Amino acid sequence: MTHPAPSADGARVLADLNALRAIGAYKAGVHRPTFSEAHLASLQWLVARLPEAGLTGAIDGIGNVLSTSAKPGPKLLAGSHLESQNYAGWLDGPLGVIYALEAARVLNNDPAIMGSVEVAAWCDEEGHFGHFLGSRSYAGSVTEADIDAAADRTSGRSMRAALQAAGLAGVARVQCERGRHIGYLEAHIEQGRTLESERLKIGVVTSIVGIWQYRITFSGEQNHAGTTRMDERKDAGLALAQFCVAIDARFPKLCGPRTVWTTGRITLDPGAPSIIPGRAEMLFQIRDADVAVVARLEQALHAMAGEVNGQGRCSVTVDCIRKGTPALMDDRFQQAIEAASASLASGKSLRMPSGAGHDAQVLATIMPAGMLFVPSIGGISHHWTENTADEDIVTGARVFVDTCRRLLASSTAGR
């Protein structure tokens, strides 16, 4: 190689991440829910950094930070999110935003590099007001009515009121200009322990799971717990418990190698020990990267409900309340991440699916997308103890910047 490839400045990346950690600091993590003062301050912080990377940017009408470069050549979109879960970690989101900013600073300012990186911070990836409202707005799939209906799951404050308070009411929402970008690249902490346990440094995401969520409702007969004999009962709570056990018996025969399913909140009505519950409800979620697998499991849920209904004691209904499409990451992006890992992380990378949802799955519906993971210490996230070793953060940044460089270069070469 005649000219060394430009590289990430590890100290600058760590300093930026720590600067963001100080905005809404909570113990070792942050409390920066969507549209909180701290969240808005973090967005403004990012906007103020953009000129260093040769970018012009602003906060749009849904709280996304979006930026543009005037440099000729191919453009790569990169980013993540700046809000956090309540009282959560400092890296979930900011890591990907700072890597994107660093890539833009290094590559956009280098005249030897054709093209540029445009930085984005997607609003509300953590779902305080909805599901991926920021990136879905950019992709053109959020209506004004969706915004009218959105409210903060913790405080109940409407999204309209939050936008008004943030000074964003009436500000236009920026939508994707089709064909502008060669694709979207996002980095994130793994939020699991696969990389750590295998002593690897970089996860090359192959796909992002789809999440299907259900409300399963059982109807029986509410009656006196002391005078109703066991054989006469139509106990909706018992039917629910049996259904949970039946799922765990049946799903393993139908699922894929990485399918997961989880029962959420269970409510018994009326839920007093002296009254047989006449109604019971459970929230239930399935995650898998393969639609066919989840469709098979959904069919099983309906079949099992049919069997319960056939017994005539209690009735069951299964309602799907959320259907997230799994997203495949672009193969060229996976290869670029692998090549960068081979050169800067001793090849310690692994192709793996993402069990968590990310904005990249939304962006993948409108352009080629890729994701890379860095190790999470102990696999912990959505908690203020979430952390990644500084050394791994720096390695990830170098691999990220080099991946961007490779993608821009291969895009130019292909023209």
Q: Contact region for Zn ion (CB under 5 A) — 63-71, 91-99, 172-180, 317-325?
A: 91-99
HSE-up (13 A, CA, CB side) for residue 227: 3
Among 24, 29, 79, 93, binds Zn ion (CB under 5 A): 93
For residue 210, CA distances in Å to 245, 291, 327, 350, 397 come to 24, 7, 7, 21, 27
State the minimum distance, in angstroms, from the CB of residue 393 to Zn ion. Answer: 15
According to the binding rule CB under 5 A, does residue 79 interact with Zn ion?
Answer: no
Closer residue to Zn ion (CB): 92 or 288: 92
Q: Report the residue closest to Zn ion, judged by CB.
A: 92
According to the binding rule CB under 5 A, does residue 386 interact with Zn ion?
Answer: no
State the minimum distance, in angstroms, from the CB of residue 35 to Zn ion. Answer: 17
Contact status, residue 88 vs residue 386, Cβ threshold 8 Å: yes
Q: Contact region for Zn ion (CB under 5 A) — 5-13, 60-68, 90-98, 388-396?
A: 90-98
State the minimum distance, in angstroms, from the CB of residue 381 to Zn ion. Answer: 8
Instruction: Say how far apart CA 112 and CA 115 lie, in whole Å.
Output: 9
According to the binding rule CB under 5 A, does residue 92 interact with Zn ion?
Answer: yes
- The number of residues that bind Zn ion (CB under 5 A) is 2
According to the binding rule CB under 5 A, does residue 89 interact with Zn ion?
Answer: no
Closer residue to Zn ion (CB): 93 or 237: 93
Closer residue to Zn ion (CB): 217 or 354: 354
Instruction: Say how far apart CA 190 and CA 346 lie, in whole Å.
Output: 19
> Which residues contact residue 177 at a Cβ distance below 8 angstroms, ignoring those fewer than 6 apart?
none
According to the binding rule CB under 5 A, does residue 186 interact with Zn ion?
Answer: no
State the minimum distance, in angstroms, from the CB of residue 93 to Zn ion. Answer: 5
Q: How far is CA 196 from the centre of its chain?
A: 20
Instruction: Say how far apart CA 345 and CA 336 lie, in whole Å.
Output: 13
Residues β-bridged to residue 25 = 30
Tokens for 3, please give them: 């000219």
> Which residues contact residue 179 at a Cβ distance below 8 angstroms, ignoring those fewer than 6 apart?
none
Q: Contact region for Zn ion (CB under 5 A) — 87-95, 214-222, 246-254, 262-270?
A: 87-95
Q: Return residues touching Zn ion (CB under 5 A).
A: 92-93
